[in-house]
Amino acid sequence: MQLSSARILLVVGGGVAAYKSLDLARRLRERGARVRAVLTDAGKHFITPLSLAALTGEKVFEDLFSLTDEAEMGHIELSRDADLIVIAPATADLLAKASHGLAGDLASTLLLATDKRILAAPAMNLRMWLAPATRRNVATLRGDGMLFVGPNDGAMACGEFGPGRMAEPLEIVAAVEAALASPAAIAPPASAAKAGALAGKRVVVTSGPTHEPIDPVRYIANRSSGKQGHAIARAAADAGALVTLVSGPVNVADPAGVHVVHVETAREMLAAVEKALPCDIFIAAAAVADWRVEAMREKLKKSAAGPPRLALVENPDILATIAALKKTRPALVVGFAAETENVVAHARKKLARKKCDLIVANDVSPETGIMGGDNNEVHLVGAAGVEHWPKLAKDEVARRLVEAIALRLEDAAQ
Ligand code: C5P
């Protein structure tokens, strides 16, 4: 469904970010959507019903027990007469209520009564976002099929810095468009990993290629699309993990609910991974360039002396570096092996050489269509043996991999 003909029910919770929801309402209406808003009591401390009514062009709903509201439109009807419910800001309190099915006010009642999908844009202090209770609630809600956009990293109104800032209005608009475009379903997609399998775990994933500059305008790269790494980050978040995705330059969108760090070179990727530690699980899905040009120069020019010679030096091996850490080694380190022949044999050697716990090996010969494609056929190579999976969508490979990782983590803890 298109945003231009969509009916959005916007639930505005009580957070400083509520001012951004006024802009969100405007952006949604600019694109043709009808927006009805519900303002919680806490939300009224931050913005007024009047400004929300002015920007949505509709009456604002505030009270569960208001006779006027009920006479005009009951809360059940309000929650169903929408194509999508958007909670922005989704406070820790609203998420906790929704995850437990509480229905003590209009906003939480609507969330419980709806038969439509819900997209939440969380906003809260970073300690509240990282608190085990919020982690559990978000994992439960994801498992129930709730969609998330953000929160982003950044400076917070309370003076701290970290994850918890509400996504920007246009990011939320993009997430609304994506939610409307995918077939409506209340139940979690069949591909969602077992809810909460990684609840509270910290996961760092690398994805995509790296670009190694030759001069200010040229670079060395490879054909990695980032589809598999991004799908893994999304699946880990769906399973309740707190995910940092360190991505090289790709054309795929940032997965919702994942903290994404964009980098270009292998050295930047390593630095971003090290900054994201400690974590429980490290998954190196990026196709990191093995070499970089020794010295970056001015833009190379054609000359009578012939083509330039590029002196290459080796890049750091991110996977091996992280696997070799002493104090901060993640409990589980997973690498990829993209090979064009003897896939399993090479993967076994890589497992030993890079001292990781698991290698996801695949054949990337051009005829397989795996590099850049939507499917993947992998072997899971670990100390205990090799598992071969049939050709599957990359999203499904990601979901199964997250389940396999969760099982190994459980085994390791016993
Ligand atoms: O040695 P090879 O490049 O085949 O190893 C592939 C695995 O190692 C992948 O998991 C990849 O992300 C990781 N890797 C890395 N840093 C490099 C090279 C590879 O993390 N410089």
| Nearest Cα residue to 293 out of 217, 219, 209, 210 | 219
Give the mutation target among 270, 312, 317 for probing the ligand 1 site: most ligand atoms within 8 A of CB. 317
User: What's the CATH architecture for 202-413?
Assistant: 3-Layer(aba) Sandwich (3.40)
pLDDT averaged over every residue in the chain: 90
Active site positions, annotated: 158
**335 Cα–ligand 1 center, Å:** 7
Going by CA atoms, what residue is nearest to atom 13 of ligand 1?
A: 319
Please provide residue 157's backbone torsions phi and psi, each rounded to the nearest 5 degrees: -60, -30
As a whole number of angstroms, the distance between CA 3 and CA 13 comes to 23
**288 Cα–ligand 1 center, Å:** 6
Least confident of 88-92, 153-157, 171-175, 212-216: 153-157
Antiparallel, parallel or unpaired: β 212-213 and 219-220: antiparallel
Q: Which atom of ligand 1 is nearest to the CA of 319?
A: 20
List, for residues 56-92, the tens digit of each pLDDT value. 999 999 988 775 666 666 778 888 889 999 999 999 9
Ligand 1 contact via 288 beta carbon (within 6 Å): yes
**320 Cα–ligand 1 center, Å:** 8
pTM: 0.66
Least confident of 72-81, 114-123, 300-309, 323-332: 72-81
Question: Which part of the chain has CATH 3.40.50.1950?
Answer: 3-181
User: Residues 35-50: what's their mean pLDDT?
Assistant: 96
Ligand 1 contact via 337 beta carbon (within 6 Å): yes
> Is residue 139 very low, low, confident or very high in pLDDT (cuts 50, 70, 90)?
confident
As a whole number of angstroms, the distance between CA 144 and CA 138 comes to 10
Ligand 1 contact via 317 beta carbon (within 6 Å): yes
Ligand 1 contact via 106 beta carbon (within 6 Å): no
Question: Which part of the chain has CATH 3.40.50.10300?
Answer: 202-413
List, for residues 237-247, the tens digit of each pLDDT value. 988 898 999 99
Give the mutation target among 288, 378, 401 for probing the ligand 1 site: most ligand atoms within 8 A of CB. 288
User: Residues 21-28: what's their mean pLDDT?
Assistant: 97
| Nearest Cα residue to 289 out of 209, 363, 371, 206 | 209
Under 8 Å between Cβ of 181 and 129: no
Helix axes 106-113, 92-100, angle to 10 degrees: 40
Q: Which residues contact 24 (CB under 8 A, 6 or more apart)?
A: 10, 86, 88, 169, 172, 173
As a whole number of angstroms, the distance between CA 359 and CA 368 comes to 19
> Is residue 404 very low, low, confident or very high in pLDDT (cuts 50, 70, 90)?
very high
**223 Cα–ligand 1 center, Å:** 14
**284 Cα–ligand 1 center, Å:** 7
The larger pLDDT score, comparing residue 214 to residue 157, is at: 214
Instruction: Report the CATH number of the 3-181 domain.
Output: 3.40.50.1950
Which tokens in the block code for residue 186? 């209340």
User: Which phi-psi region, left, alpha or beta, contains residue 191 (left: φ > 0; alpha: ψ -120 to 50)?
Assistant: alpha
The angle formed by the CA atoms of residues 63, 66 and 72, to the nearest 5 degrees, is 110
Going by CA atoms, what residue is nearest to atom 9 of ligand 1?
A: 336
Under 8 Å between Cβ of 194 and 239: yes
Under 8 Å between Cβ of 215 and 382: no
Under 8 Å between Cβ of 242 and 276: no
| CB atoms inside a 10 Å sphere around CB 346 | 17
List, for residues 254-302, the tens digit of each pLDDT value. 887 788 999 999 999 999 999 999 999 999 999 999 999 998 778 888 8
Least confident of 60-64, 99-103, 324-328: 60-64
Q: Tokens 């980098």 sit at which residue?
A: 263
As a whole number of angstroms, the distance between CA 360 and CA 111 comes to 40
Please provide residue 169's backbone torsions phi and psi, each rounded to the nearest 5 degrees: -50, -45
As a whole number of angstroms, the distance between CA 64 and CA 60 comes to 12
Q: Tokens 């850490």 sit at which residue?
A: 325
